[in-house]
A and B are shown apart, each in its own frame.
Chain A
Amino acid sequence: MVQDATNRRVFAAWAATLATVSLILSSAVFPVILTGAEKETAAGDKAKGEKAKAATVKSAAASTSKGSKRKSRVEKAESSLGEAVGAADEAIKLSETVYSTGYEGPARELIESINKEVRQGWIDNGVRPSEPADDTEWVRRVHLDIVGHIPDLEAVQKFIADKDKAKRAKLIDRLLDDDTGYVRNFTTIWTNLLIGRSTPRDVSRSALQKFLREGFGKNRGWNEIVTDLLTAEGDNDQNGAANFLLSHLNEGAVPATAISARLFLGMQVQCTQCHNHPFNDWKQNAFWEFNSFFKQARRQEVRKYNEKTGRMDIDHLELGRMDFGGPVYFERRNGVMEVAYPRFNGVDVAPEADTNRRQELAKIITTGSRTQVADAMVNRMWGHFFGYGFTKPVDDMGVVPPSHPALLELVSTAFVESKYDLKQLIRWICNSEAYNLTSRFNAKNAKSKQDNPAAGEMPLFSHLYLKSLSAEQLYDSLIVATNAHKSKSGSWEQAEQTRQKWMQQFVKTFGTDENDEATSFEGTIPQALMMMNGELIQNALSDAKGTLLYDVLSGKASPAEKVKELYLATLSRAPSTREIQTANRILRTASSPLEAFQDLYWALLNSNEFIINH
């Protein structure tokens, strides 16, 4: 089986590269940073390094030789350094029935091929996949991933009661057609990626969001959206796409170069501005060649007389095109100046001033049946739904080979064939067997050496990995959990502004010229305090008319039914026997039923199960 051998070799290469990368990182590649004492023994260290490498492999084999599957992987890593890999030494038998969502559309064959590729990874690594997720686990997950918030009580009840065999496939379609949910979710995600959570000065967040909203709403091809973002010109209020580059044109467009490579091509090249990349093919000149495509872009401030201040204040920004021709200059580490002309992946662009360089760049990167733009988006989208992509991080594909190269190629070329259809891509992923598995480990994939990428292992997608809710997902889920989504009739922009204001308490910028920032949100004490005592939770616990708690409590159902409804509304599942007993005890002893239900509801909203997408 050729397929088999290819996969195994690739896995082996992954393991071997990891080992090599970490060795390189720890010593040899940066002679310039060795301290004086180390310099004297540098040669000796190198020898030690070799020894250490051998020792690492040996100890890894020894520590895992207790009959675990890890052993075979280490051996694979070793043998890949020598000759070709032999036949499987330990086979795992998979159930012949591949889980199906009932999808019957034109992409059936493709989804089957995806399943086959993922299964091959399980077989090769002796990992048994977890069981399929039950409907309650899955319905919560698919809502959080596609529309960005938990399903409401009604949606959960309807889905559980539905007897249709194809109900999962149909729900995926419904959610993708949900313009308020799907469009808003991906607009949020891409706004944050493109300009960050704290909007750079004079940049119009709302205009960028309008551009993205239209793009996702009309399901424009990703190649078109990328092209618009890279080639935008004009007034940033009128042409929302212009706000992306306007946020990154400082420092001779170095930030624009780095972020475009990272977001659209899946490459982190920022360190190559100063020296050749230690692990990927990007040399220092490649960074500046890429940079030269952005050299005609110019940020202009258009000022207008402001009657209130009596000054000429900035009215809006213009993304203009300068008459820039010729090379850019950069400095080698040894101080020698060099030139770089616009060139990408071996394609040269005429350096004259009348060439529109950004348009040329967009053309080059979106041409072909297998493009880096498609690879980067497929990897990111896979990572969005599974918690891990084929590389770690998802936007740095140049360092370590992908975990599933054949799968990546399969999906990426199909994505290009579909004219970069994002909804199709999501449909393929969500209808795949792996996305429909439970997040519970089993005995055959639980150990850190089996399928636990959180511990640094290669992901095998044999169970769903836990994901922390993003700040926006949590906010929107709390809105759903309070029923506020039903009563609020304000505009999209208003809702967005309120959320944006709430977000700011968790965002910190680093105070550099590159607009980088960090969030203190996921799993931190400030988040726990917000969940325990914050205003959003207080609102959720209110029994005022129109809240979920009011609706549940004023209904005719029995107390036991009411408890169940609160569970469905928050965790999308019914309570266990033990949980029913605890709830009953509280209902008996509390001074009022309202207080008992409030406290129950508080506990549900504060639980790990609520705040983790599983």
Chain B
Amino acid sequence: MIHPLRVPDGMSRRHFMQHLASGAMTLPGLAFLSHLDAHAAEVRKNQKACILLWMSGGPPTIDIWDLKPGSKNGGDFHPIGTTGDFQISEHMPQSANVMKHLSIVRSMSTSEADHGRGRYFMHTGYIPNPTVVHPTFGSVVSYEVGTKRKDLEIPAFVSIGGPSMGPGFMGMMHSGFQVGSNGEIKDAKMRDLSSARFEQRQAMFKAVESDFIKSNRGQLSVDHEDVYKKATKLMTSRQMQAFKVDEEKPEVVAMYCGSGANAAGGRMGMGARNPFGMGCLMARRLVEVGVPFVEVDLGGWDLHQNVFTTLKTQRLPVLDQALAGLTTDLEQRGMLKDTTIVWMGEFGRTPRINQDTGRDHWATSWSVVIGGGGLRGGIAVGATDKDGLSCTTQSYLPGDIWATVAHSLGIPLDTVHTSKNGRPMKIANGGVPIKELIG
């Protein structure tokens, strides 16, 4: 399907591209893009990607994926059967139907129970360290996979609805491109400008920009030029269409958000199109045009109070519909085998229920969900004891999850990056792919 060309007012796309090619923000190969479109669409179909569903605040996995019926820590919810070989919460009925595609890692043990530290550890695979800023895994994928996709004109790492984490020593080139779940991108259109004037601006820009870089001042000045190149490329790209999630057909939206009286966000006053559901839908559209890493944020899990009511009426309906919708949609489009889905937060929550009927921070024994991308679905890896207080099998670190994702994406596990102070850093902190999932 050919989308209308998106060009700055007053000039054709081809014309604009010619000027781009001669300007400071020259982009190799861009001018030939239209010839490659047909072929690229074919290639993209098999392109590998990862969608991270980030549960900001720390989700109570003991109430969702690893229930403890009969224990004093069990809480209000009952387990139900799934299409996989395990049970999950009764408030995840839609997802129960797709669990044959997804697996649960029930023995995460991650040591960091502070929001900031946990967020860092889970996103990067590394414990915070005062001498190095590690890249979030989306930035690693942008660096390893994104840079090889020459026909990708939009950022290779998109973060929907949340800030994710920084690119660390990968540099600003590989930072997550933040966008709201409505897909609106502010100021992405050039105002009335002829190509001659665009060229004038480029010439002046280049004169100042390159002199400052040459004046020997450091990395920030170089990063600036790189980010401008990316921003300019994005402004004229037809791949921007992927962000226009509002244009999706109602029946597709309904897969992710429910519809009518069953709309997942309905009870929370979000209407038929809740932000997380729409974010997941946008993630699928982005993966379709070749983006290798998308993070979608769902917040509100920091449930120190009223954990059961909030889960039942607010968080789980939204999560359940979106996770089921995303998995089903990817499967129906033939994309699930190449797209790895990871569901996680910064930590789990205490098995013990506190005096406010809440659960506090807990990193000792909790669950992460992972599937698609050729990984084995429908199994539970690892286990916790009957009260959920500790892992009874081998436990896993975030690096093991990211190593599993790296395996799915085809990034060699012996890949080593070098931090700015010259220290070698193993990909995923030297984690090992979980053998039950890749076997």
Residues of A with Cβ closer than 8 Å to B?
18, 21-22, 25, 30, 32-33, 35-37, 63, 251, 270-271, 273-274, 391-393, 396, 399-400, 439-442, 446, 448-449, 452, 454-457, 465-466, 468, 505, 508-514, 516-518, 520, 523-530, 532-534, 538, 571, 576, 578-579, 582-583, 585-586, 589-591, 595-596, 599-600, 602-604, 606-609, 611-612, 614
Inter-chain CA distance A114–B432, complex, in Å, is 50
Q: Does residue B119 face the partner (Cβ distance < 8 Å to A)?
A: yes
Within 8 A of A (CB), among B195-240: 196-197, 200-205, 207-209, 211-213, 215-221, 223-225, 227-228, 230-232, 234-235
Q: Is the CB of B220 within 8 A of A468?
A: yes
Inter-chain CA distance A600–B203, complex, in Å, is 9
A-B contact pairs, 30 of them (CB 8 A): A22-B132, A35-B396, A270-B116, A271-B113, A392-B130, A393-B130, A440-B215, A440-B216, A441-B218, A442-B216, A468-B220, A508-B162, A510-B56, A510-B119, A511-B300, A512-B58, A512-B115, A512-B299, A520-B178, A524-B177, A525-B234, A528-B228, A528-B231, A529-B186, A530-B186, A532-B187, A576-B211, A600-B204, A608-B220, A612-B220
Inter-chain CA distance A293–B109, complex, in Å, is 32
Inter-chain CA distance A36–B391, complex, in Å, is 10
Q: Which chain B residues lie closer than 8 Å to A505 at the CB level? A: 186
Q: Is the CB of B218 within 8 A of A529?
A: no
Inter-chain CA distance A457–B126, complex, in Å, is 20
- The closest CB in chain A to the CB of B221 belongs to A608
Given contacts A456-B419, A520-B178, A578-B207, contact A396 B218 (CB under 8 A): no
- The closest CB in chain B to the CB of A392 belongs to B130
Bitwise, B297-336 to A at CB < 8 A (1) or not (0) is 1011110100000000000000000000000000000000
Q: Is the CB of B129 within 8 A of A25?
A: yes
Q: Does residue B268 face the partner (Cβ distance < 8 Å to A)?
A: no
Q: Is the CB of A599 within 8 A of B204?
A: yes
- The closest CB in chain A to the CB of B390 belongs to A32
- The closest CB in chain B to the CB of A519 belongs to B163
Out of A391, A440, A449, A524, which one reaches B175, CB within 8 Å?
A: A524
**Distance (Å) between the CB of B7 and the closest chain A CB?**
14
Out of A35, A456, A528, A611, which one reaches B132, CB within 8 Å?
A: A456
Inter-chain CA distance A446–B218, complex, in Å, is 9
Inter-chain CA distance A238–B312, complex, in Å, is 41
Q: Does residue B110 face the partner (Cβ distance < 8 Å to A)?
A: yes
- The closest CB in chain B to the CB of A34 belongs to B395
Inter-chain CA distance A524–B226, complex, in Å, is 10
Inter-chain CA distance A428–B130, complex, in Å, is 28
Q: Which chain A residues lie closer than 8 Å to B205 at the CB level? A: 602-603, 606-607
Q: A-B pairs with the 10 shortest C-beta distances? A: A511-B299, A456-B421, A603-B204, A36-B394, A518-B163, A608-B224, A528-B231, A455-B420, A607-B208, A508-B163
Given contacts A22-B129, A456-B131, A529-B185, contact A614 B217 (CB under 8 A): yes
Out of B116, B224, B300, which one reaches A516, CB within 8 Å?
A: B116
Inter-chain CA distance A505–B155, complex, in Å, is 19
Out of A512, A516, A520, A608, which one reaches B209, CB within 8 Å?
A: A608
**Distance (Å) between the CB of A561 and the closest chain B CB?**
17
Measured as residues with beta carbon below 8 angstroms from the partner, the interface class of chain B is: 35 or more
Pair count A-B, CB < 8 A = 241
Q: Is the CB of B187 within 8 A of A529?
A: yes
Q: Does residue B117 face the partner (Cβ distance < 8 Å to A)?
A: yes
Given contacts A514-B115, A578-B207, contact A508 B130 (CB under 8 A): no
Q: Does residue B433 face the partner (Cβ distance < 8 Å to A)?
A: no
Q: Which chain B residues lie closer than 8 Å to A452 at the CB level? A: 218
Q: Does residue B422 face the partner (Cβ distance < 8 Å to A)?
A: yes
Q: Which chain A residues lie closer than 8 Å to B423 at the CB level? A: 22, 456
Q: Which chain B residues lie closer than 8 Å to A529 at the CB level? A: 185-188, 231, 234-235
Q: Is the CB of A608 within 8 A of B304?
A: no
Q: Does residue B397 face the partner (Cβ distance < 8 Å to A)?
A: yes
**Distance (Å) between the CB of B293 and the closest chain A CB?**
15
**Distance (Å) between the CB of A61 and the closest chain B CB?**
13
Inter-chain CA distance A391–B397, complex, in Å, is 29
Q: Does residue B189 face the partner (Cβ distance < 8 Å to A)?
A: yes
Out of B56, B127, B396, B419, which one reaches A511, CB within 8 Å?
A: B56
Out of B111, B191, B223, B419, which one reaches A533, CB within 8 Å?
A: B191
Q: A508-B178, A579-B207, A612-B220 are in contact. List 5 more A-B contacts (CB 8 A).
A: A271-B112, A399-B130, A466-B220, A603-B201, A608-B213
Given contacts A21-B129, A457-B421, A529-B235, contact A510 B204 (CB under 8 A): no
Q: Does residue B57 face the partner (Cβ distance < 8 Å to A)?
A: yes
Given contacts A465-B218, A466-B220, contact A510 B188 (CB under 8 A): no
Bitwise, B369-407 to A at CB < 8 A (1) or not (0) is 000000000000000000000000111110010000000
Q: Does residue B190 face the partner (Cβ distance < 8 Å to A)?
A: yes
Q: Is the CB of B189 within 8 A of A533?
A: yes
Q: Does residue B364 face the partner (Cβ distance < 8 Å to A)?
A: yes
Inter-chain CA distance A602–B198, complex, in Å, is 10
- The closest CB in chain B to the CB of A538 belongs to B191
Q: Which chain A residues lie closer than 8 Å to B421 at the CB level? A: 448, 455-457
Q: Does residue B172 face the partner (Cβ distance < 8 Å to A)?
A: yes
Q: Does residue B284 face the partner (Cβ distance < 8 Å to A)?
A: no
Inter-chain CA distance A455–B169, complex, in Å, is 9
Inter-chain CA distance A251–B113, complex, in Å, is 14
- The closest CB in chain B to the CB of A258 belongs to B114
Inter-chain CA distance A589–B199, complex, in Å, is 11
Q: Which chain B residues lie closer than 8 Å to A533 at the CB level? A: 187-191, 235
Q: Which chain B residues lie closer than 8 Å to A585 at the CB level? A: 203
- The closest CB in chain B to the CB of A333 belongs to B364
